[in-house]
Chain A
Amino acid sequence: MLHGIIRRLLSAIPTLLIGITLCFLIIHLAPGNPATRFLNPSQSAQTQEIIRERFGINQSVPVQYGHWLERVLFHFDFGYSFYNGKSCVVVLISALKPTLILSFWALIFALFVGVSLGIVTATKADTRFDRIINSIMMVFISTPAFWLGLMFIGLFTIRLGWLPGSHLHSLYYDQLNSFGQLLDSVKHLILPVLTLGLPLAATLFKYIRTGMIDALQSDYILAARARGIRQSTILWKYSLKNSLLPVVSLLGVIIPALLSGAVIVEVVFALPGVGRAMVTAVFGRDYPILMAGATLAFITVIFFNMIADILNMVLDPRIRNGSGGL
């Protein structure tokens, strides 16, 4: 198994290199160089030369590529924001906390709802209950997150006034005692987490339900039933274990979806996260931030893909021994 894990770790290296190169190409194949926005005809030739040198655009593209690769790979340096001159990594990491909190709870919510509903409907396949839950989930898969968020804000924040619809805390957060602070944070998180989590829960539900129905019809379940093993043991111990395996592989789909979804949800709920930093950067034409954001998001996904594959190797003997599986 160790051999397999090492091979998987090594195979991530070319993937990372290609991805980082693609990010560079996207910026440099686009017409005009971003840094030219600092140049204008009224500057003296000398000033222009200094600016060119400062942004490294007086060098040829391959040289620039070499620098970019070296900085990213060996110094984890993505350059500096055009907007405030801060290091891109610092800007994005300081925006990471809201994104992480939001994505984490949305994932937990989605797993809980998706898995439990998936199991329950699989045992009652083709009943009226199954059909109703299925239709509801179909709608949630197709619901644009920003619309769901808007409707939540309209209903629960503006009409009913039950839950706050923006920011991570209230203005008077510092004056609350620790229980009050916790309650305040939880209240602020409910609507964004639901907005991000419900469509994801619906997607997971679809996979779990299919996996469970397949598992419940397979021979080993039939054999377990013939031996008189209880229904609940069959359900929770035998079928669930096998239908959870695909969910681990789904991490590769879930993580990009969470990151993209967080962009929209952070904008709708005014959360100061990575996604909102990206959108702000688009409007400010702050290319270093955009480039760093896209590259870091890519590295995150590659990392989780690797974790998923290794987890699969640990959990699934067929893949571990290289004798089939996915």
Chain B
Amino acid sequence: MKILPSNALKNRSLSSGYAAIGLVFLFLLLGPLLTPNNHTSQDLSVSLQAPSASHWVGTDYYGRDVFARLVYGGRITWLVAIAATLIAVCIGTIIGLFSAYRGGWIDLVVMRLVDVMLAFPKLFVVLLIVGLGASSINLLIWVLALFSWMEIARIIRSEVMSQKNRTYIKSARALGFGTPRILFKHVLPNILGPIIVSSVLLISTIILVESGLSFLGLGIQAPNASWGSILNDGKIDPLGTWWLSVPAGLLILTTVTGFNLIGDGLQQLFDPKKSL
């Protein structure tokens, strides 16, 4: 496949995207080895301290080590985004495939539902649902996924529509293969490119929504951290307590830019004509 790093180096978007994501990934992976501090243990005697030898990125209001919080918070942010994206991609793929392949009134109804769900401002609905339940990480993942599958479904539908009448599908049908087999074994591999591109871009979108929610105090709940909630801790004096507001913001920015660059780069590789 063309998404392997060796070929990617020729594509500027892709190589810088891989570099950004690789760096953040290493930080999240190796972070705990670098610091003996725990991300939830409080020590009020060192409240709001600037970076020092014992606390590399300073401490927050409760004296918790910000470096450890950035590592564990980042892991949660990534986990939520990737899990929600995977669920959304599965839902979107299945709905898009069947809607397009069956056509007729099923397609009509499903696409109308997609239009309706796309018209909901995502944050408003998520606020509504998070307001209803006690916010847990599981709920957050499912809510984000259930309001993110529509674009994938739409892309898949239009791709399947264009594949549907090709000869290889007709011959598969002539051989007597069932619909699921044709869809998953024959159609799906041919439209994998656009699915990968939109999933990667979806990770970015979900990270932005999740950190926005956590920033508002509605996503990941204390004592757990997410990059958004760490930013919220630093909101009183953003530049005064810069170790709370700047590193977390830069990590979100790097991650989102990284995934966006990878998405754009892959799009250029898969389909040079359609690339933005």
Contacts and interface: CB of A to CB of B under 8 A. Distances in A.
29 contacts: A15-B112, A18-B112, A30-B132, A30-B133, A138-B257, A142-B256, A142-B260, A144-B215, A144-B249, A144-B253, A146-B228, A146-B231, A147-B245, A147-B249, A158-B239, A159-B239, A206-B276, A255-B121, A256-B120, A257-B121, A259-B123, A263-B127, A268-B235, A278-B124, A278-B127, A293-B127, A294-B120, A298-B124, A301-B120
Given A22-B120, A298-B119, 14 more contacts: A15-B116, A30-B129, A138-B261, A144-B211, A144-B212, A144-B256, A146-B231, A150-B235, A155-B239, A256-B119, A256-B121, A263-B216, A281-B131, A301-B119
A154 interface: yes
A27 to B, nearest CB: 7
Interface of A: 14-15, 18-19, 22-23, 26-27, 30-31, 34, 138-139, 141-147, 150-151, 153-155, 158-159, 206-207, 210, 252, 255-257, 259-260, 263-264, 267-268, 278-279, 281-283, 285, 287, 290-291, 293-294, 297-298, 301-302, 305
Contacts of A26: 125, 128-129, 132
A106 to B, nearest CB: 15
B253 A302 contact: no
B215 A264 contact: yes
Contact of A260 (B122, B130, B237): B122
B23 to A, nearest CB: 15
Q: Which of A151, A294, A297 has the most CB of B within 10 A?
A: A294
Range of interface residues on B (Cβ < 8 Å): 35 or more
Contact of B253 (A147, A267, A291): A147
Nearest to A22: B116
Contacts of A143: 253, 256
B129 A150 contact: no
Given A294-B120, A301-B120, A18 B113 contact: yes
Contacts of A155: 239
A23 B218 CA distance: 20
A23 B116 CA distance: 11
Interface in B230-254: 231, 234-235, 237-240, 242, 245, 248-249, 252-253
Contacts, number: 151
Contacts of A259: 121, 123-124
B119 A158 contact: no
B271 interface: no
A14 B112 contact: yes
A151 B116 contact: no
Contact of B276 (A210, A281, A298): A210
Contacts of B260: 138, 141-142
Nearest to A263: B123
Contacts of B133: 30-31
Contact of A285 (B112, B119, B131, B248): B131
Contacts of B76: none
A24 B132 CA distance: 13
Contact of A154 (B127, B237, B253): B237
A285 B131 CA distance: 6
Nearest to A34: B132
B115 interface: yes
B211 to A, nearest CB: 6
Contacts of B94: none
A281 B131 CA distance: 8
A103 B116 CA distance: 22
B60 to A, nearest CB: 15
Contacts of A145: 212
When A and B form their complex, which 6 residue pairs have the shortest distance between CB atoms, in order from nearest? A154-B238, A154-B239, A260-B123, A142-B256, A282-B131, A147-B249
B204 interface: yes
A45 to B, nearest CB: 27
B248 to A, nearest CB: 8
Contacts of B128: 23, 26-27, 290-291, 293-294
A34 B242 CA distance: 40
A58 B219 CA distance: 33
B132 A15 contact: no
A314 B222 CA distance: 53
A158 B238 contact: yes
Contacts of A158: 237-240
A207 to B, nearest CB: 7
Contacts of A301: 119-121
B275 to A, nearest CB: 8
B116 A260 contact: no
A290 B128 CA distance: 6
A206 B204 CA distance: 16
B208 interface: yes
A207 B211 CA distance: 26
Contacts of A22: 116-117, 120
